[in-house]
Structure 1
Amino acid sequence: MAKYQTLLYYCYSPIENAEQFATEHLEFCKSLGLVGRIIVADEGLNGTVSGTPAACQTYMEAVHADKRFSKTDFKVDDVDEPSFIKMHCRYKSEIVHSGLRNPTVINPNKETGKHLEPKDFMEMKDREDVVILDVRSNYEHAVGRFKNAVTLDIENFREFPEKVKKLEQYKDKKILTYCTGGIKCEKASALLLKEGFKDVYQLHGGIIKYGKEVDGKDFDGQCYVFDNRVTVGVNKVNPTIVSTCRNCGKVTSKMINCANPECNEHFTQCDECGWEMDGCCSTACMEHPRKRPYDGTGYYVKVPQPVNEEKISKRKHKTFPPKETIDLLDHQQ
């Protein structure tokens, strides 16, 4: 039996008093000894949590016991160690940041693409009248994607709406959308339908479920995940590596964050260049005075910074978060 498990899940279901729910849910997770990241919004839940099999089972049973979340589909991975350091449960405006906050515009509870189970997705994806659309960000599809998938040049899912016009040439095709766990496709497919695409589908449970149920056939490379594993393998049939080292061009699936916290860019880097560049993407970042020590993983635990009242005052006048405060929770699944 596995020592630990990691659960990936989401559920679009209205939550009253969502901020209070987030506070109470955090305490519940801590009481079970879970670690992870959960977003709570008025529209639902989005989370990845990790703990002992017993704790994970208790958590899943508790979520399913709540009528609002009874249909939540958990993707369960056995892991050697917890996939997070701490437990976070935060209230946000959306459970995946799309910039489409008005439920009268996009509401996955009312209209979204037709859900395809992995075996049906696998059977449809190679047809001539089908286009496979990856709705994830550049750093995600750079490390792994379906064969022949259409990818978009986006740094964050909130850029997806402005890219829809570039897909006009596919309006007479069946559009099969996919992402890591399914959550982005709920909104992406809903937006495509609103923009006049007639035949829109989504991979139910995303890449993770596809790997578990049909062994990941024809998914090239690794699947990016939002925990300290960074990437996981899903293809047991015809696996390949598609990503290359930023610095030397060598084929590698290893993805890290730049050791310079002011940069913090997500990029692929082989082990050799990792040690040579001290975990940095460039020589300029290697020389930065705040560069973090590199231990070969390229994964860094966020350390609280001293309060800077002057900086806080300046930020009150900004309409967007500074780069160092952007949370991966905004990109999850």
Structure 2
Amino acid sequence: MIPAFRSSLNPNSNPNPNFLLQLNPSSFIPASNSSPHRRRPNIYSCSYSSQSQAMTVSNCSTGSAASRPVPISTAADFESQSNPHSTLMVVSFYRFADFPDHANLRKPLKELCEELRVSGGIILAPEGINGSICGTRDSVGKVLAFIENDSRLKGLRKIESPVSPEEEAIHHGHTSSSPLSAGEDAPFRWDHVRVKLKKEIVSLGMPDVSPIERVGKYVKPREWNALISDPDTVVIDVRNNYETRIGKFKGAVDPCTTAFRNFPSWVDDQFELPKADSLKQQSGGSTELKTEWPERKKPPRVAMYCTGGIRCEKASSFLLQKGFEEVYHLEGGILKYLEEVPEPESLWEGECFVFDKRVSVEHGLAQGTFKLCHGCKQPVSDADMETPEWERGVTCPHCYSSKSEEEKERARARQRQFDAWGIIGGPDKGRRPTSKDDARAKNSNKLSSSL
């Protein structure tokens, strides 16, 4: 139950100004642009404005439209229009659970997805499951039902998103020359499924932080505005800087992290956290760390949000472990908020970055305007693609200065493969040659085409 917030009727209220004065001033010192995946810059520096820009859709990120055949409607297209169960959808899901035998699920889950032509990415770890998949409503439903057959994974937290008619037409009319058939450099592929085994389903690097044991209080999207409008609430964006750059909630504090693993360091730096000085004995014999806070240093009420809610599960568990008492997080994340809260009532500004081919979404989960730089996996606008630093498939203004000439040349070679065949690696990608002669012929074709 959320407490009554004194300023809940004022949607323009900002977070507690006294808290903002406590933040390290270096958090707001501009720094040079850098790729979030290449090196670890000062995590307390930002190099961008928090305001998003209005842009129009561009085809630059997938190559010239004139050089690619337009997919022809197939029987599947007409079937999807007449049968809602065959319409494509994207479902993001996760579940924290005690799952030590997670590796046993990998093979049957991957085989089922391939059989049903469900694509996307799924992570299995000892702490649970996390995934984003695309397919027809029936096929996706079968995959999710298979996962929830394991009682430990029942109650998956799910967010459904529609697929645009253009993307659906390309999916059904898929050929090796289709723009969406290439995805080796993209975080999500419509034509391929990956089921990976990892140590964590979302990497914080702190194994003692367990959302299975305790998390913050969930806040429904319809109740979120009242919470974050209260001046005594500190609103924290738990995402990374390449995500917050294109959109965030009004008045939210941006940690400017380049990876989720940096979040604990940011908390330690920004809050004056006393050390635990006693152990509280619980009924049953177990002990719990107890932190004594001086009244003047009492931590504020914190409300956190992320894309789909999974990072907030760990972040809220971490803050509770640190001694924070009032920790809230947006249930279902930004995606659920954009789905349920009408735009006129919304406190969201800009677009939401998503880790699939859509790149970004707007209110109602409509397709956004940003494209993806395949050199650094960051969202780029039409304005970005007009700069000298933009080179399709190679660099953008956000990664140009951090890439060596050798890295740029490798990216250009990959882009030439894409331009020639519509897929990274050539037309035989994923297929086993029938003979040594076929293999030599294909390798020869690759070599001649790349020269």
Q: How does 1:176-215 map to 2 (within 5 A)?
A: 176-215=303-342
Greater Cα offset, 38-47 or 14-23: 14-23
Q: Distance in 1 between matches of 2:381 and 2:113?
A: 35
How many residues are aligned here?
280
Structure 2 residue matching 1:152: 3-state secondary structure: coil
Does the 8 Å contact 2:96/2:128 carry over to 1? yes
Does the 8 Å contact 2:127/2:201 carry over to 1? yes
Which residue pairs with 1:257 in the alignment? 373
Q: Distance in 2 between matches of 1:71 and 1:43?
A: 15
Does the 8 Å contact 1:219/1:235 carry over to 2? no
Structure 1 residue matching 2:107: 3-state secondary structure: helix
Q: AA paired with 1:44? A: G
Q: Distance in 2 between matches of 1:8 and 1:60?
A: 11
Which runs of 5 or more residues in structure 1 are unaligned? Answer: 240-251, 307-333
Q: Distance in 2 between matches of 1:119 and 1:64?
A: 28
Which residue pairs with 1:331 in the alignment? none
Report the CA distance shift for 1:114/1:87 in structure 2 as closer, same or farther (over 3 A).
same
Which residue pairs with 2:445 in the alignment? none
1:228 to 2:312 alignment: no
Residue 267 of structure 1: how far off its partner (Å): 4.5
Which runs of 5 or more residues in structure 2 are unaligned? Answer: 1-83, 172-188, 273-296, 430-451
Does the 8 Å contact 1:278/1:286 carry over to 2? no
Report the CA distance shift for 1:12/1:124 in structure 2 as closer, same or farther (over 3 A).
same
Does the 8 Å contact 1:11/1:72 carry over to 2? yes
1:75 to 2:159 alignment: yes
Q: Distance in 1 between matches of 2:416 and 2:381?
A: 13
Q: Distance in 2 between matches of 1:302 and 1:97?
A: 28
Residue 20 of structure 1: how far off its partner (Å): 2.1
1:92 to 2:198 alignment: yes
Structure 1 residue matching 2:89: 3-state secondary structure: strand
Higher relative contact order (CA 8 A, sep 6+): 2
Q: AA paired with 2:88? A: Y
Q: AA paired with 2:130? A: N
Greater Cα offset, 90-99 or 276-285: 276-285
Which residue pairs with 2:391 in the alignment? 278
Report the CA distance shift for 1:4/1:235 in structure 2 as closer, same or farther (over 3 A).
closer
Report the CA distance shift for 1:150/1:69 in structure 2 as closer, same or farther (over 3 A).
same
Q: Distance in 1 between matches of 2:351 and 2:416?
A: 23
Report the CA distance shift for 1:54/1:258 in structure 2 as closer, same or farther (over 3 A).
closer
1:25 to 2:109 alignment: yes
Does the 8 Å contact 2:122/2:132 carry over to 1? yes
Q: How does 1:1-333 map to 2 (within 5 A)?
A: 1=84, 3-80=87-164, 81=168, 84-100=190-206, 102=207, 105-168=208-271, 171-215=298-342, 217-234=346-363, 254-259=370-375, 264=376, 266-270=378-382, 273-274=385-386, 277-279=390-392, 280-281=395-396, 288-290=408-410, 291=412, 292-293=414-415, 303=425
Residue 150 of structure 1: how far off its partner (Å): 0.5
Does the 8 Å contact 2:238/2:305 carry over to 1? yes
Residue 3 of structure 1: how far off its partner (Å): 2.3
Report the CA distance shift for 1:253/1:93 in structure 2 as closer, same or farther (over 3 A).
same
Deviant stretches of 4+, over 6 Å: 283-287
Structure 2 residue matching 1:74: 3-state secondary structure: strand
Does the 8 Å contact 1:223/1:234 carry over to 2? no
Report the CA distance shift for 1:114/1:141 in structure 2 as closer, same or farther (over 3 A).
same
Does the 8 Å contact 1:9/1:48 carry over to 2? yes
Q: Distance in 2 between matches of 1:181 and 1:289?
A: 36
Q: Under a length normalisation based on structure 2, what TM-score does the superposition of the two structures give? A: 0.57
Report the CA distance shift for 1:149/1:42 in structure 2 as closer, same or farther (over 3 A).
same
As a proportion of its length, which structure holds more helix?
Answer: 2
Identity level (%): 30
Considering only aligned residues, what root-mean-square deviation do their CA atoms show, in Å? 3.0
Report the CA distance shift for 1:31/1:45 in structure 2 as closer, same or farther (over 3 A).
same
Q: Under a length normalisation based on structure 1, what TM-score does the superposition of the two structures give? A: 0.75
